């Protein structure tokens, strides 16, 4: 599976396909070049976006402070900036997480 990661001066851009209102939260796989992340929260008042950040932090072994939503605040297709990590290291963590699921 290939996630379309992109280098950024402050880290790596991670495209995410959000699935709010799921029965279980967590990283679910790859979807169209994006990391598919499910959260149990509904897509209202930013709750699902906060839950996505928490799911990414837990699933990829990151601090919440490393993750910033750059684009797609109201859409299912989102772009996150992951700070302080190399593209190679983020790729390794994603691959390890997807292998577990």
Residue 1 lies in a domain: no
C-beta separation of 98 from 3 below 8 A: no
Q: Find the CATH number of the domain harbouring 12.
A: 3.30.1200.10
Query: How far, CA to CA in Å, does 19 sit from each of 11, 24, 41?
Result: 24, 10, 9
Domain that holds residue 60: 6-100
Residue 41 lies in a domain: yes
Is the pLDDT score of 9 beyond 60? yes
pTM of the model: 0.93
pLDDT digits (tens, 9 = 90+) for 31-57: 999 999 999 998 888 889 999 999 999
Query: How far, CA to CA in Å, does 45 sit from each of 51, 62, 90, 95?
Result: 12, 24, 29, 31
pLDDT of 30 reads: 93
pLDDT of 34 reads: 96
Residue that wins the pLDDT comparison between 100 and 3: 3
Domain count, the chain: 1
Residue 51 lies in a domain: yes
Residue 48 lies in a domain: yes
pLDDT of 1 reads: 53
pLDDT digits (tens, 9 = 90+) for 62-86: 999 999 999 999 999 999 999 999 9
């Amino acid at each position: 599976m290939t996630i379309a990661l992109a280098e950024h001066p402050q880290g790596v851009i991670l495209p995410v396909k959000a699935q709010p209102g799921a029965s279980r939260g967590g990283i679910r796989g790859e979807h169209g070049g994006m990391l598919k992340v499910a959260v149990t929260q509904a897509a209202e008042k930013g709750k699902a976006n906060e839950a996505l950040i928490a799911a990414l932090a837990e699933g990829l072994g990151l601090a919440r402070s490393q993750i910033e939503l750059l684009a797609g605040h109201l859409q299912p297709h989102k772009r996150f900036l992951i700070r302080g990590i190399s593209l190679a290291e983020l790729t390794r963590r994603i691959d390890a997480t997807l292998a577990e699921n």
